[in-house]
Amino acid sequence: MIYSRQKGHVLIIDGNTLVYDGTRYDLPKRIWNRNGRSLVQANNKVYVDEYAFKNGKFRWSFIGLFHKLF
- Predicted confidence at residue 33, as pLDDT, reads 67
CA–CA separation, 47 and 66 (whole Å)? 10
pTM of the complete model beyond 0.85? no
Q: If pLDDT is split at 50, 70 and 90, which confidence band does 25 have?
A: very high
Q: If pLDDT is split at 50, 70 and 90, which confidence band does 57 have?
A: very high
CA–CA separation, 3 and 11 (whole Å)? 6
CA–CA separation, 68 and 60 (whole Å)? 12
**Whether the predicted pLDDT of 51 surpasses 80:** yes
In three-state secondary structure terms, 63 is helix
